Chain A
Amino acid sequence: MKCITNKVREELSKGNIGSDTSCPYHPSHYRGQNCSFCYCPFYPCNDDDFGVLKITKKGDRKVWDCSLCHFIHRNDVVEYIFKRVEELGIVEPEDPQFSGIFKEAKERFFKKGKAIMVLGATSDAGKSIIVTAICRMLNNMGYSVTPFKSQNMSLNSRATRTGEEISMIQDLQCKAAGIKSPSYHVNPILLKPKGDCISQVIAEGVPYGDYDVKGYYSDFVPNKGTDIVKRNVDFLKNRYDFVVMEGAGSPAEINIYEMDIANMRAAEMADANCILVINMEWGGSFAYALGTIELLKEKDRKRVKGIIFNNLYGKIGGLREGTNKIEKMLGIPVLGIVPHLDIKLPKEDSECFRDVDSVGNGKKVISVIKLPRIANFTDVDPLLLEDVTIRYVKRPEELQGSDAIIIPGTKNTLSDLNWMKVAGLDKAVMSYKGKIPIMGICGGYQIMGRKLLDPNGIEDADFPNSDGLGLLDIVSIWSEYKKRTIQQHGKFILTGENVTGYELHMGNSTVNEKPLFRIESFAAGDFDEGAIRQDEMLFGTYLHGIFEKPAFRKYFMSLMSNEDDIKLTKCIDYEENIDLNIDKLVKGFEKAINMNLFKKLFIEDKK
């Protein structure tokens, strides 16, 4: 506490410094935050709107935890504090008048943020990408912004800094919003399909249980889901100027209307103004627009303030005739017709699940085994920055001509290993041993091992004891129903360069191989991760996202290049590339949208 007092004294003497981009920790919360008070002069405010009293890890005492509060980083708050400090002639941080300033500041500046919700007429309407664009656009205007999707069904997820699991796309939207460390609040319900219409429900970042469709709507939604959505959207509204929400599928699924906490119920809880997005690619977009809005209940219909026709291939031509008619019929303005934009951002439903056999058209062919329950398949996306074609392989003969093989993650390692054996892919992959690089990630890493043991049927009761491909001497065992979700950073041992990634898995492995990475961990101490057999070009790791930083990607690509026949100059950081594409997206979006109307309807205060 003494230390904090000294820091605050220092901060008071420096005055309002705005955003400190030279600080190595910047931005601690979000891009554009005011950094004048790195240490809060009001700490501990003990106000429930800003933090919670938490028991320490050791359990010996209680501390005030306000790590997710941004109030002190608002420009208006900082300006006000300095104004009052000067007026009252305060110099000492311990001055009791600070509690008065806190009350005044809260009174003036603490207000709930606005919610904007992007609804889609269908799945794949372009909701995620438009939320991404709006997040970056508002952040560029100087607002604090967060994305939010109450309920997301996706197999691509990420671990937050504190080890909760959220969907990959909300993590990406947080990047667009300039948020440093996303928390589980941005996606409090994640549904991970396990097959046979059953999904694993991840609630507030933690596995909660398995549900079928009927059970989800009759049990989870009324008993737990509704409260979760309310609680989390409130949390975010208390902390950001804008909460940009994403719906799921169509809001006009009239058979589950009142139970649908992903769309209009969430909009109602957040008091959001909504935009309806329609994908024009398949045609029928006028019918989708009119039908969707007219099937909404009246109280919900009033929330829809604008319509965006999205993803137009070709010219606008006579389409305005149609959009004008829709505007007239519904009395809701069309904000614009957005053309198909050539943006390279990860997609929720990756090509992998469509009938796409390959992506990219580079020189080197990397074959990814298309496991039936493939998960976190966006892991391979950064490879497309290189001169690479990614081929999704389901049969042994499709491996011909590969320059490398990747066995990706899966929602069910044991049953997918069995699928590989039935398809003859186990032997086929093994026949490439030593000839080309073979890499396993997460479930794929476990598959490459010697033994996979599931004595209690936690992963799959049908396969208590399986032989893996035996490419690496590791033994994996599922001994308890526990999931490891954690972000990691460390070094690629061969070169000493930095790598980052995240673990999301059930089951653990005993590794009898040279390690691939050295993980640096403050909490657990440094430790070895992964496996490498350099001579045979065999690699395995639990780290998702391992190709994002250039270090390992560059090495992996170099193994495929004989006599420098491919250029490796493009080894840029994948995150930087994502950032460039978000900026490109915003430009395209702003060009296509009537921005004055957008600002009038969604940003300006009407009061």
Chain B
Amino acid sequence: MKLMLLGTASGVGKTTLVALLCRCLSKKGLKVIPFKGSNLSLNSYVTASGEEIGMGQAFQAWAAGIEPTVGMNPILMKPSGKGVIQVILNGHPLADISPGCHPDTSLLLDEVCQAYDNAHYNSDIVICEGSGSPVELNLMGRDVANMLLVKKKKIPAVIVGDIERGGVFAAIYGTWRLVPEEDRHFLKGFIINRFRGDPSILKSGIDTIERLTGMIYMGTVPYANLKFPEEDSMSMGNGRLEGKDMISAFIANLDELNEGIELGIDYEIFKKIASEDP
């Protein structure tokens, strides 16, 4: 099985949701591997074999009950000031890129796909995390973290919207609309994240989005006070982890919150989407 979580923006809670799903599905006995093709982050983790990956994927791996490996995040981009970005490929520095320059898209996409194939081969389900929004019109052509990977590997995708900022229906609908028509069949469903209050008030809005897009409503995830390391400049959670053993504190916190996601998301639909080729 395979699934991609695409966000309507940065900081909508993709990293957290992937971690929660990893935890939840691995507890149900599945072998889960988290995956993020390309990650823009300054917070990195060094794997047991000495490769550098994004911190988010390391935590997602622990949530899935496995050790982080380089294949979970083949490309890591680290902003090093003045618009220069250091590209880490498969855990090792490849090059520094000056502002306005771009590495070869097809080369990066090949690397991402290879790592993905590997993860897919070794798991029951790969849960991919997109990066930022998949419809940045000026970047879409070289955005290997989102639609390029989805199309190449035929991964069913789900759009995650953040209701806390407001405008969640517009964000989900607008994201769907800006994906070129011929690729929209990859977009299978949508999730509303960070909701507070009584979700029944959303019903008519959800129905409209389902009707307009044909995507399936997969659930509403309540606002979760997940304490998470900072992924990038955006705030991921609502506090800092404390204590000696960060990982076990994180896992304990995840387990507390798991109930929230179990209540909000219909697993049957989820599995159905993840098992079918779009």
Residue numbers of A with Cβ under 8 A of B are 120-124, 197, 213-214, 249-250, 252-256, 282-292, 294-295, 314-315, 317-319, 321-322, 325-326, 354-355
Contacts and interface: CB of A to CB of B under 8 A. Distances in A.
B163 to A, nearest CB: 10
Interface in B64-86: 83
B170 A321 contact: no
A287 B166 contact: no
6 contacts: A197-B197, A284-B10, A287-B8, A287-B175, A288-B171, A291-B172
Given A121-B170, A213-B197, A291-B175, A322 B132 contact: no
A287 B133 contact: yes
B9 A253 contact: no
A467 B118 CA distance: 65
A470 to B, nearest CB: 32
Nearest to B132: A283
Interface in B6-41: 7-11
B10 A282 contact: yes
A291 B203 contact: no
Nearest to A326: B137
Contact of B100 (A285, A317, A354): A317
A285 B136 CA distance: 8
Nearest to B7: A284
B166 A254 contact: no
Contact of B201 (A256, A292, A318): A256
A321 B135 CA distance: 13
Contact of A254 (B132, B137, B178, B205): B205
A326 B137 CA distance: 9
A120 B165 CA distance: 11
A254 B204 CA distance: 7
Nearest to A321: B138
Contact of B202 (A255, A287, A322, A355): A255
Contacts of B107: none
A214 B9 CA distance: 29
A121 B8 CA distance: 13
Given A254-B169, A322-B138, A291 B201 contact: no
For the complex of A and B, the 4 pairs showing the least CB-CB separation, nearest first, are A291-B174, A250-B167, A284-B133, A255-B205
A252 B171 CA distance: 10
Nearest to A248: B166
A286 B140 CA distance: 12
Contacts of B167: 120-123, 249-250, 252-253, 288, 291-292
Interface stretch (B87-95, B150-158, B231-239): B231-239
Contacts of B185: none
A475 B133 CA distance: 55
B173 interface: yes
A576 to B, nearest CB: 33
Nearest to B140: A322
B165 A122 contact: yes
Given A250-B166, A282-B234, A288-B174, 16 more contacts: A122-B165, A213-B197, A213-B201, A250-B170, A253-B205, A255-B204, A283-B9, A284-B132, A287-B8, A288-B9, A289-B174, A290-B178, A291-B170, A295-B208, A315-B83, A322-B138
Interface string B181-209: 00000000000000011100111111011
A283 B133 contact: yes
Interface of B: 7-11, 83, 99-100, 132-133, 135-139, 165-167, 169-175, 177-178, 196-198, 201-206, 208-209, 234-235, 238-239
Contact of A291 (B10, B177, B197, B238): B177
Contacts of A317: 100, 138
Contacts of B9: 282-285, 287-288
Nearest to B6: A284
B69 to A, nearest CB: 28
A370 to B, nearest CB: 13
Given A287-B177, A291-B170, A355 B132 contact: no
Contacts of A253: 166-167, 169, 205
B171 A284 contact: yes
A314 B136 CA distance: 15
Contacts of B133: 283-284, 286-287
Nearest to B197: A197
Contacts of B201: 213-214, 255-256
A256 B83 CA distance: 42
B172 A286 contact: no
Contacts of B165: 122-124, 282
Nearest to A278: B167
Contact of B136 (A120, A121, A283): A283
Contact of A287 (B174, B204, B205, B238): B174
A342 B234 CA distance: 19
Nearest to B174: A291
Contact of B173 (A123, A282, A294): A294
B177 A318 contact: no
A29 B136 CA distance: 47
A399 B204 CA distance: 48
Among A197, A282, A294: residue with most chain B CB under 10 A: A282
Among A253, A287, A355: residue with most chain B CB under 10 A: A287
A322 B239 CA distance: 35
A317 B160 CA distance: 27
A373 to B, nearest CB: 16
B173 A295 contact: yes
A321 B10 contact: no
Given A289-B174, A354-B235, A322 B204 contact: no
